[in-house]
Amino acid sequence: MSDSNRTSRFGLSRRTFVQGIGASGLVGAGTNVASAAIDDESVTPVGSGSVTTAIPDGYDYPSPPDPTYVTGDVSPPIPTNDWWSGLLFGPYSAGPVIGDPYHGKAGPAGFTVTYPTDWDGDPAEQDTIVADTAQTPGVTIGHTDVEEFSDARVNDWGDWHVQATWGAGTDEHMDVTIARGLPLCFAEYSEGGARLAFSVDDRSIDDAAVSVWADRGNVLGITVSANGYDKHFGMFAPEGASWSGVSTAELRSELGDGDYLTVAVLPDASTDLLDQFERYAYNVVRDTTVDWEYVPDDDGTPVSEVRTTYSFATEAKPESQTEGTVTALFPHQWKHAVTELTDRTYWSVRGEMRVATGTSFTMAHTYDGILPFTPTSGVQDTETLRSYMTRLAEEYEPYVYDVPTSAYWAGKDFYRNSTAAAIADRTGQTEKRDYFLSAVTDRLEGWLSADDTALGTEAGQELFYYDDSRQVAFSDGMTVTVPAGEVVVAQSADHYGADTDAPMAPADLTAASTNSWAVELEWKASEDDTAVQYYVVTLDGTTHTTVSDPGVRIEGLDRGTEYTVVVSAVDPYDNESVPTSVTVTTDSEDTAPPEAPSDLQTASKTKTSVDLAWSPASDVGEESGIESYLVVVDGEQYTEVDETAVSVTGLDPDTRYTFAVRAIDEAGNRSEPVSTTAATLSESATQSPFEGRATIPGKVEAENFDQGDEGVAYHETTSK
């Protein structure tokens, strides 16, 4: 797809349209640009930048659309750049709501769902390729008592789901909950039942196009055929409910004693598939959350993985048969999934989607590290690279795209300049490097300032404005697109305003444990209106460390010494709390345990013994030295040795044991244990003979001898 050729609904390319917006902004301001100058009293510093809290008089540049279409249950900040955010700019939506595998459209009659499975035209002949939604039959989820709603409003959302309300504030309304990747749409009703109308691109279809392949009373399996497509749907009403209009283009149900309905888009017409979906269809999604963790090793085996878990919170209706839901994973998800997948798949414009079921699914990506710059070793020709950097700096402007322009295009300038700066640094072209770096920093500094004209813009044209009532900000220096539509508008991402309030001071700072060499401190987490970024820990007036969680261990202290420890909380805006302090005194005698031994290995094992070996431990503080090692078998002390190896004998055959070793210093302090597990050989095990020759000095020369315990045999011996 060519970026410059992608067209808007006005018939302009994306680039031309964005430039047109910039031009219209300049024309709208007229010659009286001074009237758009910002009042200094409205400017609030934020870090090294600033925002204005008042739009200046005479301001006539594009402003972001107001996310008006929300219910009274919604409070800011509102995510205006999510996959569903077009719903905010209504009255129904600023464009399609593409959740994949389904394609959604909000309208006056309700929410229309299609499942496209082919391209609109020949992708090889198109600059922009899209799914064939216009020819694909779908179903509109509506209300039996309302032909047309006045609008649809966002009512709730999570990390990748949203709930919208048709008829908000009226007695007859409908809530529809959808999620990215979820082939289920949940509808909940007030004062009425469900109306399902089949159509193609808002055009009604004949009854003959509808066939029913499963009718269980409240549950239907339906296929709609049009334009060469056969599209399959599952309808799940409450138990005891019935449907009217079965086998026609419009179905109705009063939903029995319930007020909910689930509609599923199905990849095929299968009663087995309908059974599988019915198990999950009555679990309404209420929340979606994403969490991740970095895992350096798994039970001692290095893995270096980032594991991301997507979790669903659901409300089970009476018909629910199990926990969780059914969801389709994108290729970048299922290719790295550690969650078991089913054999079901869906088509999507982003590639084949595969189905998982349950309350969550997890992906694991190997983290290989990040290089701070491109390595200079390789087959590249340095002089050629230098010529590229020279040409880029001398023959091109620092910004290929206009200033101001949308974040989409500005990002291309950022990437080009930041990449070139790294290359110029490695080729020794410091002047060119600084040129490219300045192109990045100057642009960002201008954007993140209340008003900046350093890049040739008019006064007020690069306004950075924060609306406290909506808790959103926008900058006309960079405009972004409404994700669900095609029209480029001057809309911002969600920025949070200037925060000058410090967090609460850490409470209950205490020494949880103290010895002659270290102290462990803990305190209650501080509260802040945004978040606590980290805690500063000061030791006797000098910053010792910063930590993200409420607790710290300070090591390397002197015996019998008093220390003052101070802790303060810092938020993302560098506001620091009032400090909290505590005085601690280390023990005068050696009470610090040594470091634990490491690398505990099983050197060899037989039916009744296991040989252990480990790396030596070291003592800490004003060292008294390592005295011995305590060997423990299954929680019971086995022996105490001076060396870093031991043979544990008298064990049972074919039995798994847990072995642990602790270091003991001369003061009697014991370290944390290092442990491992190993099993003895079974009674029936055949022990492999030693293959080769070995010389026993002055006695015999032996070959092929058994190294076992009982019944040791020596073969082919010769006297010496």
Which helix (H) or strand (E) element contains residue 368? Answer: none
pLDDT confidence bin for 564, thresholds 50/70/90:
very high
Of residues 195 and 401, the one with the higher pLDDT is 195
Paired tokens of 408: 């989409």
DSSP-derived letter for residue 670 is B
DSSP secondary structure of 446-491: HHTSSS--TTSPPTTTT-EEEETTTTEEEETTEEEE-TTSS-EEEE
Paired tokens of 673: 């244990």
For 534-549, what is the mean pLDDT?
A: 91
Tell me what pLDDT residue 431 has.
Answer: 94
**What's the CATH class of domain 507-585?**
mainly beta
Kindly report the CA angle at 308 between 302 and 310, in degrees rounded to 5?
150
pLDDT tens-digit map of 428-445: 899 999 999 999 999 888
Question: Same CATH topology for 507-585 and 598-679?
Answer: yes
CA dihedral 212, 213, 215, 219 (to 10 degrees): -90
Tell me what pLDDT residue 214 has.
Answer: 95
Q: Is the pLDDT of residue 185 over 90?
A: yes
Report d(CA 77, CA 494) in Å as an integer: 7
Q: What percent of the chain has pLDDT over 70?
A: 83
pLDDT tens-digit map of 21-78: 232 222 223 233 344 667 788 888 888 888 888 877 777 666 667 788 999 999 888 8
CB contact at 8 A, 1 and 14: no
The dihedral sign for the CA sequence 80, 81, 82, 86: positive
Crossing angle of helices 382-395 and 430-447, rounded to 10°: 40
Report d(CA 167, CA 703) in Å as an integer: 91
Of residues 333 and 493, the one with the higher pLDDT is 333
Tell me what pLDDT residue 471 has.
Answer: 57
Kindly report the CA angle at 556 between 551 and 557, in degrees rounded to 5?
90
Q: Is the pLDDT of residue 496 over 90?
A: no
For 215-244, what is the mean pLDDT?
A: 96
pLDDT confidence bin for 220, thresholds 50/70/90:
very high
pLDDT tens-digit map of 96-144: 999 999 999 999 999 999 999 999 988 888 777 889 999 999 999 999 9
pLDDT tens-digit map of 568-597: 999 877 789 999 999 999 999 999 999 999
Q: Is the pLDDT of residue 80 over 50?
A: yes
Count Cβ atoms below 10 Å from residue 187 Cβ, excluding itself.
24
Q: Which residues, in sequence order, are CB contacts of 203 under 8 Å at separation 6+?
A: none
Q: Is the pLDDT of residue 601 over 50?
A: yes
pLDDT confidence bin for 711, thresholds 50/70/90:
very low
DSSP-derived letter for residue 573 is T
Tell me what pLDDT residue 1 has.
Answer: 34
Average pLDDT, the chain: 83
- Say whether 22 sits in a helix, a strand or coil: helix
Phi, then psi, of 692 in degrees rounded to 5: 145, -165
CB contact at 8 A, 74 and 81: no
Nearest Cα to 363, choosing from 455, 295, 262? 295
- What are the counts of helices (DSSP H) followed by strands (DSSP E) for the chain? 6, 45
Neighbour-count burial of 699, counting CB atoms closer than 10 A to its CB (0-12 exposed, 13-18 middle, 19+ buried): exposed
Nearest Cα to 597, choosing from 622, 616, 575? 616
DSSP-derived letter for residue 151 is -
Only one residue has tokens 């399609």, namely 96
pLDDT tens-digit map of 334-383: 999 999 999 999 999 999 999 999 999 999 999 887 766 555 666 678 89
Least confident of 207-211, 601-605, 684-688: 684-688
CB contact at 8 A, 681 and 654: yes
DSSP-derived letter for residue 560 is T
CB contact at 8 A, 213 and 280: no
pLDDT confidence bin for 493, thresholds 50/70/90:
very low
Tell me what pLDDT residue 158 has.
Answer: 96
DSSP-derived letter for residue 422 is H
Q: Domain locations in the chain? A: 3-63+373-491, 507-585, 598-679
In Å, how far from its chain's centre is CA 229? 36
Report d(CA 222, CA 233) in Å as an integer: 5
In DSSP terms, which residues pair with 264 in a beta bridge?
184, 234
Topology classification of domain 598-679: Immunoglobulin-like (2.60.40)
Of residues 691 and 584, the one with the higher pLDDT is 584
- Say whether 281 sits in a helix, a strand or coil: helix
Tell me what pLDDT residue 475 has.
Answer: 52
DSSP secondary structure of 48-88: TEEEESSPPTT--S--PPP---B-TT--S---TTSTTGGGG
Strands, E, within 276-433: which ranges? 283-298, 301-316, 325-329, 345-346, 353-358, 360-366, 405-406
